[in-house]
């Protein structure tokens, strides 16, 4: 028996990953297509080995979830499921499928899927780090904006000292002069 290399594009796998019930999953019909088996055969394998697929590994969609997928154009029509509600497999459930299906193609496809999940986790981690940095900068500049606004308001409020002309600064030069001490103090940070 000659080994044939199965190539699966990472992008095609990424497009199949959905978030349902707070978990990233791939639907049974999509996995069956990747594995090159009928959805019916995949479902039978799961039912024969139900002890290997606890609810955090695989779960069957509810009618409402299936209708939502149709409404979001994730699937073209309910007929796509072939009359039965599909299973959704988490990363752990997909890993378990390789021990159930036991074909060379299933092993190669599982390796590609696991690499895709790892790639997505790395992207999310990088995105979270960037998001935290942006939040920190936003908080910093909100604080600066409030300080500048306060200084401008202070300078625009009339000075009611007796014997002085009560007038707010109106020129850019007057405002810049008023802000100069504050700007010098923030540049040191």
Whether 54 is covered by a domain: the verdict is yes
Looking at the fold, whether 26 and 116 belong to one and the same domain comes out as yes
Q: Which two tokens stand for residue 55?
A: 């609810």
Whether 3 is covered by a domain: the verdict is no
Distances (CA, A) of 151 to 72, 176, 182: 50, 11, 8
Whole-model pTM? 0.54
pLDDT higher than threshold 90 for residue 186:
no
Backbone angles phi, psi at 5, to 5 degrees: -75, 130
Chain mean pLDDT for the chain = 75
Domain with 175, as residue range(s), is: 134-187
Helix 28-35 to helix 39-48 angle (10° resolution) is: 110
The span from the CA of 180 to the CA of 30, in Å, is: 63
Q: Which two tokens stand for residue 121?
A: 């986790």
How large a percentage of the chain has pLDDT more than 90? 12
Instruction: Give the model confidence (pLDDT) of 142-169 as tens digits.
Output: 776 677 777 666 666 555 455 555 555 5
Looking at the fold, whether 58 and 90 belong to one and the same domain comes out as yes
The span from the CA of 69 to the CA of 66, in Å, is: 5
- The span from the first CA to the last CA of the chain, in angstroms, equals 69
Looking at the fold, whether 83 and 139 belong to one and the same domain comes out as no
Domains of the chain: total:
2
> Please, what's the b/e burial string for 164-188 (b: 16 or more CB within 10 A of its CB; e: otherwise)?
eeeeeeeeeeebeebbeeeeeeeee
Looking at the fold, whether 45 and 93 belong to one and the same domain comes out as yes
- In terms of pLDDT, which residue wins out, 175 or 187? 175
* Structure confidence at residue 1 (pLDDT): 42
């Amino acid at each position: 028996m000659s080994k044939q290399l199965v190539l699966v594009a990472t992008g095609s796998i990424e497009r199949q990953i959905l978030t349902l019930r707070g978990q990233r999953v791939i639907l049974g019909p999509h996995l069956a297509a990747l594995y090159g088996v009928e959805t019916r055969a995949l479902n039978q394998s799961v039912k024969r080995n139900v002890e290997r697929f606890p609810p955090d590994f695989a779960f069957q969609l509810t009618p409402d979830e299936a209708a939502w997928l149709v409404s979001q154009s994730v699937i073209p029509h309910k007929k796509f499921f072939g009359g039965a509600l599909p299973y959704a497999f988490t990363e752990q459930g997909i890993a378990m499928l390789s021990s159930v299906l036991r074909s060379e193609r299933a092993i190669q496809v599982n390796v590609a899927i696991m690499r895709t999940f790892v790639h997505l986790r790395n992207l999310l981690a990088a995105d979270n780090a960037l998001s935290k940095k942006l939040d920190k900068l936003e908080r910093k500049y909100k604080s600066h904006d409030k300080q500048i606004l306060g200084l401008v308001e202070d300078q625009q409020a009339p000075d009611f000292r007796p014997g002085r002309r009560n007038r707010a600064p109106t020129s850019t030069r007057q405002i810049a002069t008023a802000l100069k001490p504050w700007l010098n103090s923030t540049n040191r940070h």
